[in-house]
Amino acid sequence: MSSSVSTSPLLLLFSFATSLLLSNAFPAQHYPLHHHRRPRSAAHNYRDALTKSILFFEGQRSGKLPPNQRVTWRRDSGLSDGSAMHVDLVGGYYDAGDNVKFGFPMAFTTTMLSWSVIEFGGLMKGDLQNAREAIRWGTDYLLKATAKPDTIYVQVGDAKKDHACWERPEDMDTPRNVLKIDRNTPGSEVAAETAAALAAASLVFRRTDPTYAKLLVRRAIRVFGFADKYRGSYSNGLRSFVCPFYCSYSGYQDELLWGAAWLQKATRNPMYLQYIQVNGQELGADETDNTFGWDNKHVGARILLSKAFLVQKLQSLRDYKGHADNYICSLVPGTPLSQAQYTPGGLLFKMSDSNMQYVTSTSFLLLAYAKYLTSSHQVVNCGGVVVTSSRLRSVAKKQVDYLLGDNPLRMSYMVGYGPRYPQRIHHRGSSLPCIAAHPAKIQCSSGFSIMNSKSPNSNILVGAVVGGPDQHDNFPDQRSDYEQSEPATYINAPLVGSLAYLAHSFGQL
């Protein structure tokens, strides 16, 4: 799991010549969603990667597994979760390679899975139902966690004690402590992100399950009201439990803006539009940060609100096009305003700890924004350099292709995709023999002999995307190296949308 989100120093900038090469590497007339050109042949099977990126979530499930569970080396786990507080908190996801359920990244994962389906679900064909089920596994849990007004259960498990063990989730015997936020111990960032997840998911289920969608949006409204009324960071009241694992470093303002943006989209209630207009500046709408992930949502909110202006023609949100453009200009290599750092092999590099989460989230935002620009016939002007939607798609595709194997090591960073991928991921259930192979309980500390060994993982966690290489494109493939070798739900969630778009673009769907 991520334990640090400090921004890396800016070490490298691509030259303008490199940017020209990049833009030429992808056709200028990319295939917008409403055009049907003959696709070029693709170097990657994006459809296969899409299927696997969604399958991964089944390997992260906690609770009672359904009859159609496809990751069969996993079994039921955490069936008494919540009992310490006399509530039902069975279900949800383990965030990464451990056995704790952290509500903050789980909510963000659910929001990004939902956004992936909202933008690109129409292209997913047979994978759409599995994507919906992945979202529902998250929202069913979030509904349980928010069942009591002005209370959200935000964590199950003691992270420090969990990390002192290397055991399968099915064998868990570490304390399943339950942490909550309420009026006395507020947590606006977790509450607002949870509201965003519920609101975004309501849009996913609006046609297929309208009753469920209404339940989600009603709960989102209530939870956002709690987030906004009782303002405070959960990293203050629950610091000893949630830090350094999922401390909120960026504060809660970004989540309030993000949550309001999703509620505006889900409800079309003018109240949320007014909230954004009144509070946007105070909540950091025009800050120059360019990192998007489980902690900082400013950039995501800008892109989402720019859609309301570009596509829905909400003139009052015109400024968000400018805010979104500033982000794009900071990112695209070769523009005068570019600040982004890339590895020698071309990977966006933000930080050493789980860098791939920023690669997948950024790629998704680029493809989503390209879609909005295309539909409104607009471009981005970066200090006199015009950046088109096809240029954004080119940058995003290059990042996804690197992840799938176009890199100096010729290694796919998605487990189970391509001929060469990480064999020793930092993941308890994957590394230890499964129940079928080893029915006897594996005690807390006895699993460390396997964790510290060089043997490949016993179970292939298909679709898992790991933290990825360092700033020099190196990847040691060591289980103990959680910064580079640990997968996480929030790495995969935005990738689902990007892969759906690319698979469609190359005629694979």
Among this protein's residues, is 167 annotated catalytic? no
Spot the catalytic one: 44, 98, 486, 504.
486
Cβ atoms 345, 408 nearer than 8 A: yes
Neighbours of 20 (CB within 10 A): 12
Average pLDDT over residues 286-296: 91
Q: Which residues pair with 387 in a beta bridge?
A: 380
Model pTM score = 0.92
Among this protein's residues, is 426 annotated catalytic? yes
pLDDT of residue 244: 85
Q: How confident is the model at residue 28 (pLDDT cuts 50, 70, 90)?
A: very low
Spot the catalytic one: 167, 477, 483, 504.
477
pLDDT (tens digit, 9 = 90+) per residue, 12-21? 333 333 333 3
pLDDT of residue 245: 87
Residue with tokens 């990751």: 71
Q: Is the pLDDT of residue 4 over 70?
A: no
Given strand 151-156, what is the order of strands in its sheet? 101-102, 151-156, 178-182
Cβ atoms 415, 485 nearer than 8 A: no
Q: CA-CA distance, 253 to 298, in Å (whole number)?
A: 9
Q: Is the pLDDT of residue 325 over 90?
A: yes
Q: Is the pLDDT of residue 26 over 90?
A: no
Cβ atoms 333, 291 nearer than 8 A: no
pLDDT of residue 1: 54
pLDDT of residue 40: 62
Average pLDDT over residues 34-45: 62
Amino acid occupying residue 488: A
pLDDT (tens digit, 9 = 90+) per residue, 171-198? 999 999 999 999 999 999 999 999 999 9
Average pLDDT over residues 262-288: 95
Spot the catalytic one: 30, 298, 426, 504.
426
pLDDT of residue 31: 32
Q: Is the pLDDT of residue 318 over 60?
A: yes
Q: Is the pLDDT of residue 32 over 90?
A: no
Output the DSSP codes for 184-242.
SS--HHHHHHHHHHHHHHHHHSTTT-HHHHHHHHHHHHHHHHHHHHS---HHHHTHHHH
Nearest to 325 by CA among 358, 274, 369, 292: 369
What's the token pair of residue 141?
A: 């849990």
Among this protein's residues, is 282 annotated catalytic? no
